Amino acid sequence: MSADKKKTNLDFNDIHVAHGLAEVRRQFDVFMENVSFLPRSPPNEAPAAVDLPPPESPAPSLIAEAREITLEDALKRFALISGTTKVWDEHLHRELKSTAFRAEVGAAVAKQFMDASEKRKVLEQDVRQFVAARQAAQKGAGGVGEMLRRFTLLEGTEEVWDRKHWERSPLKVIKHIFPDTYDIWYRHPDRKIVPKKNVVFDPTRKVNPKTHINTFQRLPLNPVRDLDKCRNIRALLWHLCNCDDEVWRWMVRWLAYPLQYVGSKMDTALLVHSDVHGSGKSLFFDVVMRRVYGEYSATLGQHQIESTYTDWKSSLLWGVFEEIFSRDKKYSQTGNIKQMITGATARIEKKFVSGWEEANYMNSAFLSNEVLPFPVEPMDRRFLVVWPEKTLPLELQKGVGEELENGGADAFYGWLLDQQLGDFHTRTKPPMTEAKERLISFGLPSWEVFYRAWESKETDAPFHTCLSGDLYHVYRKWCRAGGFHQMDMNRFSEAMATRVKKKNRLEYDSPGGFGRGIKKGVQGTFFLMHAPPGGKTQKEWLSECVRAFRDEIGAFHEEQPT
């Protein structure tokens, strides 16, 4: 291997050991220059050489040039304030009058936005809650007037929706808070009331705010456009991706998409596992990303997954699952995981309360220090599997902590909002990684491992048409040699039929064995990989296949007709 190739394969830990922290900082600064959104050097100037990722990488660039706001941008960023011509800016959490909105996006886009049927809407009184700019209290503040503005009775329950604290509250509680005016409020003709089913969690803001109560308010952070404030956070993510350019680009877009399109449910999830303790996976996914999602995020474990009560799923946009299965539960809960990732709704069961269905907006990251946290299917399309290979350098860990104390999460949020997504969408298939291939192999049943070995010509048996009983004979010998658990013949035959064509009661002439003569017209079950060649009957061809297969494996055995 050439010296240049060796240098390309170095990562920051190796550079740190060989050349010191100063060289790590220099090379990382050069790399970050190449993924910033405002070019820092003239377009014609040759970029400085960097180690990670390699300059010749074919992966699409993350560099985004400044551009005008499109209708698509406006639809995902703004919401019409119902009953007005004003809009609410989801990113900067501010109210814009129509003239300011036109100045922000341009007259053409402003008109297209107002005419668009898919635009989101919010209530003006909710906007005032968001920006903490309530109007002066009306007469009766602290009494009936305040109660009429603050509480909405949930029809069919003994609860109200409290707009001040943005939560459900029992009637008996507010009766204690407002003992003198409770009865007047309860009988007041202007008291607001909505069906309990109209209290929804809808971060897409598609429900009618005049008829529904949307429990989603807003994401907690205000985006900051300052790359220097989140340099170490981005370096942490690059470190977790093992400096793999393809994994990095997919993961960045996966993180960015549901923030740019709030309420998007990804059909994929992240599985980051490693036996390397202190790689930084919890620091990024549990600490950094939970800062971005705030109250709409949670760190969950085995107790929540196995609990009868599932109210922890309610009103979540981001879920971090740490070591969720014990060794004896890894295979029994895979259906639950699939439902969480791709299910459109989630069943919510809460103690002492009737269960209900809620739209599922939660995107998930699964973290583990186990080699096999849970099985992943061979044809899986749900998981990006990453195996961090190195311990997080202490200097980088310290740098991330300092950034989090000084607006780093706001800057990282702003950086994700500025990502160009290209053709990435909620169902974009994650790249296959070595970690995923290894995880798939760990979870395969013995017949599947055998089939792969047989197909790859790693067994004594030729990969061509044969009797199911002859192949089972080879399989049993292979299991004994490799220490695999054997399946019975019927299960093995049915399992193999999912990979190759199986047909019963086909006639052939058995070559016999052990001094016995040829048996004419025997019937058996065959795995068929090829069609009979021209000029031969099926019986003649199958007889030749049986003879050739047995000659190849070097063993004759009495075939048991099926």
How buried is residue 99: exposed, middle or buried, by Cβ count under 10 Å (0-12/13-18/19+)? Answer: exposed
Under 8 Å between Cβ of 467 and 559: yes
The string of DSSP codes covering 188-247 is: -TT-EEEEGGGEE--TT--S-TTT-EE-----SPPP---GGGGHHHHHHHHHHTTT-HHH
pLDDT of residue 549: 92
Residue 282 to residues 65, 83, 365, 397, 470, Cα–Cα distance (Å): 32, 44, 10, 11, 51
Half-sphere exposure of 112 (CA within 13 A, CB side): 12
Helices 408-417, 394-404: axis angle to 10 degrees equals 90
Percentage with pLDDT > 70 across the chain = 81
Q: Please report where in the chains the tokens 């109209």 appear, as a residue.
A: 198
Q: For the chain, how big is the Rg over CA atoms in Å?
A: 31
Nearest one of 483, 505, 502, 480 to 493, comparing CA atoms: 502
Is residue 526 within a helix (H) or strand (E), and if so which, with residue range? strand 519-528
Q: Is 300 helix (H, G, I), strand (E, B) or coil?
A: strand
CB 551 within 8 A of CB 470: no
Task: Looking at mean pLDDT, say which of 99-113, 330-344, 398-412 comes out highest.
Answer: 398-412
CA distance 83 to 122: 9
Where do we find the tokens 């507010």? Answer: 174
pTM of the full predicted structure?
Answer: 0.68
Q: What is the pLDDT of residues 206-240, one digit of tens each?
A: 999 889 999 999 999 999 999 999 999 999 999 99
Give the list of residues 6+ apart from residue 314 with CB closer than 8 angstroms, or none. Answer: 201, 346, 348, 358
> Which band of pLDDT confidence, cut at 50, 70 and 90, is reported for residue 60?
very low
Q: What is the pLDDT of residue 385?
A: 96
pLDDT band at 50 (very low <50, low <70, confident <90, very high): very low
- Could you tell me how many residues make up the chain? 562
CA atoms within 13 A on the CB side of 308: 4
Going by C-alpha positions, the residue among 506, 510, 509, 511 that lies closest to residue 526 is: 506
Q: 87-91, 402-406, 420-424, 554-558 — which is least confidently predicted?
A: 554-558
Using alpha carbons, select from 136, 133, 120 the residue that is nearest to residue 88: 120
- Of 146-160, 397-411, 435-449, the range with the highest mean pLDDT is 397-411
Confidence of residue 53 (pLDDT cuts 50, 70, 90): very low
The pLDDT assigned to 307 comes to 79
Which single residue is written with the structure tokens 């943005």?
A: 166
Query: Which helix (H) or strand (E) covers residue 147, if one does?
Result: helix 144-150
- Whether pLDDT at 103 is above 70: yes
The mean per-residue pLDDT over the stretch 158-174 comes to: 90
Q: Under a CB-based contact definition with an 8 Å cutoff, are residues 92 and 83 in contact?
A: no
Q: Would you tell me how many other CB atoms lie within 10 Å of the CB of residue 373?
A: 21
Dmax (CA) for the chain in angstroms is 109
Strands (E), 313-454: 318-322, 345-350, 353-359, 363-368, 383-386
Which is nearest to 334 in space by CA: 421, 425, 443, 197?
A: 443
β partners of residue 131? none
Token digits of residue 459: 């067994």
Whether pLDDT at 171 is above 50: yes
DSSP 286: I
Distance CA 10, CA 49 (A): 14
* pLDDT, tens digit, 9 for 90 and up, residues 261-279: 999 999 999 999 999 999 9
Q: What values do phi and psi take at 390, rounded to 5?
A: -125, 150
- Which tokens sit at 148? 């009429």
User: Phi and psi (nearest 5°) for 554?
Assistant: 75, 30
Across 51-111, where does the E strand assignment appear? 78-81, 87-89, 94-96
- 326 falls in which pLDDT band (50, 70, 90)? low
DSSP at 69: P
Round to whole Å and give the CA distance between 261 and 265. Answer: 10
Give φ, ψ of 273 to 5 degrees.
-135, 150
Structure confidence by residue, pLDDT tens digits, 517-554: 567 888 999 999 888 888 889 999 999 999 999 988 87
Q: Given this model, what pLDDT does residue 559 score?
A: 43
Tokens 């990382």, located at residue: 28
The pLDDT tens digits of the residues spanning 504-523 come to: 999 999 876 434 556 788 89
Condensed to tens digits (0 to 9), the pLDDT of residues 14-24 reads: 665 566 666 66
Asked whether the predicted pLDDT for residue 450 surpasses 90, the reply is yes
Residue from 152, 120, 300 nearest 218 by CA:
120
Instruction: For residue 383, list its beta bridge partners.
Output: 269
258, with CB counted inside 10 A (0-12, 13-18, 19+), is buried
* pLDDT, average across residues 149-173: 90
Rounded to whole angstroms, how far apart are CA atoms 464 and 547?
A: 12
Q: How far apart are CA 254 and CA 3, in angstroms?
A: 35
Q: Is the dihedral of CA 550, 553, 554, 560 positive or negative?
A: negative
End-to-end Cα spacing for the chain? 56
Question: 12-19 vs 21-33: helix axis angle to the nearest 10?
Answer: 140
Residue 489 clears pLDDT 50, i.e. is over it: yes
Average per-residue pLDDT for the chain:
83
Q: What pLDDT does 555 receive?
A: 56
- The average pLDDT across 552-557 equals 67
- Mean of the pLDDT values across residues 385-399? 96
Q: State pLDDT tens for residues 277-305.
A: 999 999 999 999 999 999 999 998 877 87
